[in-house]
A = this chain, B = another copy of it.
Amino acid sequence: MSDGLTVPFALAAGLSGAIDSTGIIIIAGLAEIAAGSIAMGLGGYLAGKTEMDHYNSELKREYDEVEKVPHREIEEVKDFFANLGLSEEMQDQATSEVIKDKKKWVDFMMKYELGLEKPDPRRALKSGANIGLSYVVGGLVPLSPYFFADHPIAALKYSAIITLICLFIFGWLKSKYTGINPWSGALRVTIIGALAAGAAFFVASLFEA
């Protein structure tokens, strides 16, 4: 959502410094929203699916290894306990408890040897759809003034005001939710948006049409 607000906003701001027609800016903005929402949304979905595939193939491999080279896998469990700083005797005892149940043993290897948590199978679809949709919604916010204003620079003023307010609110809520200081999180997202727009404005104005 924050990328969806920032990049279309900055693109429209940049074009406002170089182009006289709000129509062209709207076309460019919509093309960017279409491109960004598909690239990010589909990218997010496929990354989630890849993670799922990777988990399943590693799971299968661990089951095979526990079957075929149990002595090596036992050594790996013991190494884990050794790394925790347990004594030699304790390592052996703890290991013998872990390997009593094959499913538990494999789950243990997945989590502590490979650091893999079982991914939620619906997460890929949900996160892809989420990213794609928020990019569309976020992108329409900075673009909306260009539908009403006569001149790009006039639209840019409204666009900057509503986008920076939205970025601040969004940054505040997201930081609150993830346990970071909400004021500094909100400021961070807002400053990134303003800098990206400023840079785009500057670059585009060098090539004024």
Residue of B nearest to A28 (CB): B28
Q: List residues of chain B with CB within 8 A of the CB of A46.
A: 188, 192
How far, in angstroms, from A203 to B30 measured CA to CA in the complex?
Answer: 7
Question: Does the CB pair A14–B31 fall under 8 Å?
Answer: yes
Q: Least Cβ distance of A153 to chain B in Å?
A: 15
Residue of B nearest to A35 (CB): B10
Residues A10 and B24 in contact in the complex (CB < 8 Å), given A39-B192, A84-B108, A90-B94: no
Q: How large is the interface on A (under 10, 10 to 19, 20 to 34, 35 or more residues)?
A: 35 or more
How far, in angstroms, from A195 to B14 measured CA to CA in the complex?
Answer: 25
Oligomer: number of copies: 2
DSSP majority for the A interface?
helix
Is A131 among interface residues, defined by CB-CB distance under 8 A?
no
Question: Does the CB pair B86–A97 fall under 8 Å?
Answer: yes
Question: Does the CB pair A26–B90 fall under 8 Å?
Answer: no
Q: Least Cβ distance of A160 to chain B in Å?
A: 13
Is A23 among interface residues, defined by CB-CB distance under 8 A?
yes
13 contacts between A and B (CB under 8 A): A3-B43, A7-B35, A10-B31, A11-B28, A14-B31, A19-B24, A24-B24, A24-B209, A31-B200, A34-B200, A36-B196, A43-B192, A85-B97
Q: Which residues of A line the B interface, CB within 8 A?
A: 2-3, 6-7, 10-11, 14-15, 18-19, 21, 23-24, 26-28, 30-36, 38-40, 42-43, 46, 50, 53-54, 81, 84-87, 90, 93-94, 97-98, 100-101, 104, 108, 179-180, 185, 188, 192-193, 195-197, 199-204, 207, 209
